[in-house]
Structure 1
Amino acid sequence: MLAAIGLDERQEAAYRVLVALGAAEVADLAHRLALPEAEAERALRRLESHGLAARSSSRPGRWVAAEPSVALGALLTRQRGELERAELVAAALAATYRAEAAEPAVHDLVEVVLGASAVAHRSRQLRLGAAAEVCALVRGVPVGEPVAGVAYRTVVEREALSLPGGTGALSAALGEGRPARVADRVPAGLVVVDGALAMVELTGRDAEPAALVVHPSLLLESLVALFEAVWREALPLRLGADGTLGVEAAPGPDATDLEILSLLLAGLTDASIAKQLDLGLRTVQRRVRGLMELAGVTTRLQLGWHAHERGWVTRS
């Protein structure tokens, strides 16, 4: 609890015992802490440097605890001041970085990260730096603690549901309001932070981990588009009332939608389709827009191709 002011576990334990006793000999303190006397004395000297303990002027070898509300209050005030100064420095550095990065050189647009430890550290750093949203394509079990106030979207491979800890991690995410989806396969491990930075895996599961950190660029835009495409096609995961993890069925067009599609692909206009099916023109147009949203396309030509690929209609 007192690590924030620079004390380790032994030093904190020594201070707690000293406060409880008011004062103590080194030997007595060492006995209570189950430490060698030399270790206990080192802990006391560290407390002394923080103003939390002092040597007794009347009895050599005896140490007296400083009054906690006074001593700790002073330390906390100093710590707050240092944090405020650090925040000002961080803000100034961020402003300098943004100014320098306005026109980045090509070689500054990507970072190559090599080794399991370095990849894990850089990934954690990116996630902790998120301000709005973290989007991830995950080939294994999702890892990492969520950041408060940050939205999350995750797509995992179906294989992750059978891995140890996979369903537990996903159930916890869904229970905390972090949506997740499942795909038969994701093209690569990918993390996109605030749409401004991305980290993509470069190696397979059996190779030494390596990754690429991508800064704002056309490559970053492509990676964001890749995530959105996979997210759109993946099936949502849901948490049942009994806490079990399930996969929602893929949405699809109803019978009326399929009739409209068939006539649309046959070359009929919206007005002709409406007349033939005894529907309102706006109803036909609304259903066509709904089909385009469901297919994730922006043109009717793309809708026709998607309908064939999905088996919504058959080629004549």
Structure 2
Amino acid sequence: MLSAIGLDEAQETVYRALVGLGAAEVPYLAARLALTEDDTVRTLRHLERQGLAAPSSTRPGRWVAAPPAVALGALLTQQRHELDRAELAAAVLAEEFRGQAAEPAVHDLVEVVTGAGAVAHRFLQLQLGAAEEVCALVTSTPTAVTGVQNDAEERAAERGVDYRVVIERGVLSAPDGLVGLTAALRREERVRVVDEVPTKLVIADRALAMVPLTPRAAASAEPAALVVHGSGLLECLLGLFEAVWRQAVPLRLTADRASHEEHPGHPDGADLEVLSLLLAGLTDASAAKQLGLGLRTVQRRVRNLMELAGVTTRMQLGWQAYERGWLSR
């Protein structure tokens, strides 16, 4: 929790213990935290440099915690000041970059990134740098990154970044595949499903894209990706995403289990979960497994939906679901 002000886990643990005790000798503190005395002393010395602890002036070997409100407040103020300076520097650099990039050279329009670590880091940067929208095509065979399940996505969504994501059907059948998708939908991200996406792709603010260079068949090859800046190639990638998006089926997963009586003539949340997975191409058995329901329960819900829609076939049910806005595009 205090890593933002420069404390690692061990330093935070020692400081919290010292705050709880008010003051303590090194041997007692080391035994309490299962640390060696040398490690405890080194950690206390670091806390002293941060103004969070100090040796007692009356009892040698005893350390006293600095009041958190004062000590941490000073560190937070310093951190905010440094962030303000960094933000100003970033704004200046961005302005310089825009000036230099008015007519970029052809070789500056693409970057080649190689190695799993570098690809994952660039993917993280794209999402954290997005200000308005992230569009993504997600395959069922992640390599350097893990599709919709990553912290960067959650942090970007918290800042108000809109997400449009198209996933392959195989993602739904992956272990815990619905867990990340459910979390994404709760963040009001829009998710759609197709049989297969042409490639993994992420586009940030319609200004920067990232697409893998490594073909799917070469799963054992070192991951590599192409980062594409504003250009005709970027326009092609945007067009590719929009074409796949238009053909994809919306996915709906919800924890809302409202009853038919609360919404007469409209299916409840559990019914729509079943319907969404079936329209995405899952079998009754696969949908039951993903939702933790029995096969008979899923089949019963499908029959109820057909009765509610006044149809006799599942094809008619899909059409009526669209017409009635149950799972609208």
Give the TM-score taking structure 1 as reference length.
Answer: 0.75
Which residue of the partner structure matches residue 246 of structure 2?
232
Is 1:179 matched with 2:190? yes
Q: In the alignment, is the contact (CA less than 8 A) between 1:156 and 1:183 conserved in 2?
A: yes
Distance 2:13 2:119 in 1: 36
Distance 1:63 1:188 in 2: 59
Q: In the alignment, is the contact (CA less than 8 A) between 1:48 and 1:54 conserved in 2?
A: yes
Which residue of the partner structure matches residue 37 of structure 1?
37
Is 1:190 matched with 2:201? yes
AA in 1 matched with 2:131: A
1:168, distance to aligned residue in structure 2 (A): 2.5
Which residue of the partner structure matches residue 26 of structure 2?
26
Which residue of the partner structure matches residue 321 of structure 2?
none
Report the CA distance shift for 1:48/1:109 in structure 2 as closer, same or farther (over 3 A). same
Report the CA distance shift for 1:184/1:191 in structure 2 as closer, same or farther (over 3 A). same
What is the aligned counterpart of 2:234 among 203, 206, 220?
Answer: 220
Structure 1 range deviating more: 145-154 or 189-198: 145-154
1:79, distance to aligned residue in structure 2 (A): 1.4
Distance 2:4 2:183 in 1: 29
Report the CA distance shift for 1:68/1:100 in structure 2 as closer, same or farther (over 3 A). same
Aligned-pair identity (%): 64
Report the CA distance shift for 1:185/1:36 in structure 2 as closer, same or farther (over 3 A). same
Q: How does 1:1-316 map to 2 (within 5 A)?
A: 1-140=1-140, 141-144=147-150, 145-146=153-154, 147=156, 148=158, 149-205=160-216, 206=219, 207-239=221-253, 241-242=269-270, 244=273, 246-247=276-277
1:214-243 CA-partner distances (Å, limit 9, x unpaired): 000011011101100111111222226127
Give the TM-score taking structure 2 as reference length.
Answer: 0.72
Q: In the alignment, is the contact (CA less than 8 A) between 1:188 and 1:200 conserved in 2?
A: yes
AA in 1 matched with 2:237: L
Report the CA distance shift for 1:183/1:28 in structure 2 as closer, same or farther (over 3 A). same
Report the CA distance shift for 1:10/1:102 in structure 2 as closer, same or farther (over 3 A). same
Distance 2:196 2:66 in 1: 61
Report the CA distance shift for 1:249/1:158 in structure 2 as closer, same or farther (over 3 A). closer
- Secondary structure at 1:135's aligned position in 2? strand
Q: In the alignment, is the contact (CA less than 8 A) between 2:134 and 2:203 conserved in 1?
A: yes
Which residue of the partner structure matches residue 261 of structure 2?
none
Distance 2:32 2:234 in 1: 58
User: Number of residues paired by the alignment?
Assistant: 250
1:248, distance to aligned residue in structure 2 (A): 7.6
AA in 2 matched with 1:33: L
Distance 2:115 2:38 in 1: 40
CA RMSD of aligned residues (A): 1.8
1:201-225 CA-partner distances (Å, limit 9, x unpaired): 1222313321110000011011101
Structure 1 range deviating more: 56-65 or 240-249: 240-249
AA in 2 matched with 1:162: S
Q: In the alignment, is the contact (CA less than 8 A) between 1:203 and 1:210 conserved in 2?
A: yes
AA in 1 matched with 2:66: A
